[in-house]
Every structure is written in C-alpha cells, then in structure tokens.
Structure 1
C-alpha cells in the first residue's frame, strides 16, 4: 500500500431477532439479516441506523456493527482509529 493510499477499515453490519431481551443469542441463525460490508465506520453507522430505525417496533430485533478490520489485522488498533 502506498503512503498516499487510505487503509481500508472494513465494517460488517448485520442483525436478527434475539431469543430474549437479556440475551445476545439469536432466535434463528438462518434468518440473520446481513446488511453489508462498508469501507469505514461512518457508512456502516448510517446503514446500521437505517436498519435499526426500520425495526424499532420489534424490541427483540437488534443490529450490530462488527469491526472486521480488527479481526483481519489485530495490530491495526494501535495504528488507526475505529
């Protein structure tokens, strides 16, 4: 990667219905909603917020942002922000 190139900070947005409000276990893993993979936190947050707002009437529905770049390169946290 050249010095002028920005590092990709991939983020996954996904969600699903939880078994209960005090659990992080999903009701049906086959029914997870994979929203997408985004190049930075800002666009991932926009997608997360949109999906969360669409499902606000279902208290068991939760959406999450996974910092994929942290899993792909665990040492990146000391080099770059979220």
Structure 2
C-alpha cells in the first residue's frame, strides 16, 4: 500500500461539526457533520484542518478533528503519524 512515490499511505480523515457544549465532544446533529476529506498523510490533513478550523473561528461550538485512519486500519503498525 504505497503512493506513486513509494511512500506508504498514512490515511487521515478530517471532519467537524457543531458541538452541544464546549465541555464534551458531543455533536448537535450528526446529519450536519462536515466530512472535509481523506488525506494521504498528516501534513496534508493538517493543512485541510487548519483551513476549515480558521473559516469557522467565529462559531465557538464548531470543531474540526483529524482521525488517524491508518492506526484504525492497522493497529499493530508503529507508524509515527
């Protein structure tokens, strides 16, 4: 499982939504989750996350997250990010 350059894909999901409260990660409405995308490495995912997080800075309840999908797909792996 490598990209065209021979580098192993370390898939990351970027998503977000509006939280019910600032004290917990409980979304107001799961139908309104914003699935930003799946990215081949952490650096690309971080760029997408920053862009979405900065565009919603006026809404304190809006949060975006990066999920390390490669860790879920291969929990035995020792991949750094």
* TM-score higher than 0.5: yes
Question: Structure 2: which 5+ runs fail to align?
Answer: none
Question: Structure 1: which 5+ runs fail to align?
Answer: none
1:5: how far off? 2.3
SS at 1:7 equivalent? coil
1:43: how far off? 0.3
What's the Cα RMSD here?
1.5
TM-score, normalising length from structure 2?
0.92
Deviant stretches of 4+, over 3 Å? none
1:32: how far off? 0.1
Q: Work out the CA distance in 1 between the residues paired with 2:55 and 2:16.
A: 12
Structure with the larger helix share: 1
TM-score, normalising length from structure 1?
0.91
Q: Work out the CA distance in 2 between the residues paired with 1:46 and 1:22.
A: 26
The count of residues paired between Structure 1 and Structure 2 equals 79
